[in-house]
Amino acid sequence: MADFEPKIVGFLCNWCTYAGADLAGTSRMQYPSTIRPIRVMCSGSVDSAYILRALLEGADGVLIGGCHPGDCHYVSGNYKARRRVTVLKTILKTLGLDDERVWVRWISASEGKRYADTISEMTAHLKKIGPSPARKLWSL
């Protein structure tokens, strides 16, 4: 398992986390190349179906990045995202999937470091728990 490189799908809100990820770049902070970011307008627009789809397609982890509580550009999208993921996690468990594979993090436009750290942490964590079984389980 040592050379297992996890694949993370990131849904990053345009206003905070995506900007934070750009800042990590301009500050040249180095982190593992495990994440494939998808820009969304708000974390509140991340449909549970996206997360499920990513896991079923074989992603080892999914990161939802939004603005800090109170900072969402659209008032309350991040609260909606948090609620939705909490519900989804119980479903994931009943499907036999690790709910630790889905992370929600609030990362602002000024937190490049926090973004880089999050990716490093998440990568390390996924390495520890190993590849997602979903692909094997569910592929027909």
Partner 1 sequence: MDENNKKIGAVMVVGGGIGGIQASLDLAESGFKVYLVEKNLSIGGVMAQLDKTFPTNDCSMCILSPKLVECARHRNIELLTRCEVESIEGSAGNFKIKVKKHPRFVDVSKCTGCGDCAEVCPVEVPDEYEENLANRKAIYRPFPQATPGAFGIDKSGACCECMQCEKACKAEAILHNMLEQDIELNVGSVIVFPGFDEFEPKLREEYGYGLFSNVVTSIEFERILSASGPFQGHVVRCSDKKTPKKIAWIQCVGSRDSKIERGYCSSVCCMYATKQALITKEHSPDIRTTIFYIDMRAYGKEFDRYIERAKLEYKVRYIRSRISEVKEDAKTHNLKIKYEREDGELVTEEFDMLVLSVGLDVSRSAKDLAEKLNINLNSYGFARVDSLEPLKTSRPGIFAGGVFSGPKDIPETVTSASGACALASALLSSVRGTLVAEKKYPAEKDVSGDIPRIGVFVCQCGINIGGVVNVPLVVEYAKTLPFVVYAEDNLYTCSQDTQDTIKEAIAQHSLNRVVVASCTPRTHEPLFQETIREAGLNRHLFEMANIRDQNSWVHMKQPREATEKAKDLVRMAVAKVSLKEPLGRISLKLTSRGLVIGGGLAGMVSALRLAEEGYEVYLVEKEDTLGGQAKDIYYTLKGEDVQKFLSKLIEKVTSNNKIHIFTAATIEKIEGFVGNFKTTIKLNSSLKELEHGAVIVASGANEYQPTEYLFGKDKRVVTQRKLEELIATKKLNVSNQSSIVMIQCIGSRCDENPYCSRVCCSEAIKNALALKKMNKQVNVYILYRDVRTYGFKEDWYQKAREQGVLFIRYEEDDKPEVKLNKDKLEVLVKDLILEEKLLISADLVVLSTATVPSEDNKELSQLLKVPLNEDGFFMEAHAKLRPVDFATDGIFVCGLAHSPKFIEESICQANACAARACTILSRDELEVEGIVAEVNELKCKGCRLCKEICPYGAIDVELKKVLGKEKEVARVNPALCKGCGACSASCRSGSIDLKGFSDSEILTQIGALV
Return the one option of ligand FES, partner 1, none that residue 66 interacts with (CB less than 5 to 8 A, by type): ligand FES
Residue 7 contacts partner 1 per CB under 8 A: yes
Q: Of 8 and 12, which CB lies nearer to ligand FES in the complex structure?
A: 12
Report CA Rg, the chain.
Answer: 14
Q: Where are the alpha helices (DSSP H) in 41-108?
A: 48-56, 77-94
Contacting range for partner 1; rule: CB under 8 A; set: 44-52, 91-99, 122-130: 44-52
Q: Which two tokens stand for residue 99?
A: 């709910």
Return the one option of ligand FES, partner 1, none that residue 33 interacts with (CB less than 5 to 8 A, by type): partner 1
Residue 117 contacts partner 1 per CB under 8 A: no
Answer yes or no: are the C-beta atoms of 10 and 36 closer than 8 Å. yes
Answer yes or no: are the C-beta atoms of 10 and 28 closer than 8 Å. no
Residue 89 contacts partner 1 per CB under 8 A: no
User: Residue written as tokens 């989804």?
Assistant: 88
Residues numbered 26-85 forming contacts with ligand FES, rule: CB under 6 A: 42-44, 66-67, 72-74, 77-78
Return the one option of partner 1, ligand FES, none that residue 78 interacts with (CB less than 5 to 8 A, by type): ligand FES
For residue 104, give the nearest of 140, 137, 69 by alpha carbon.
69
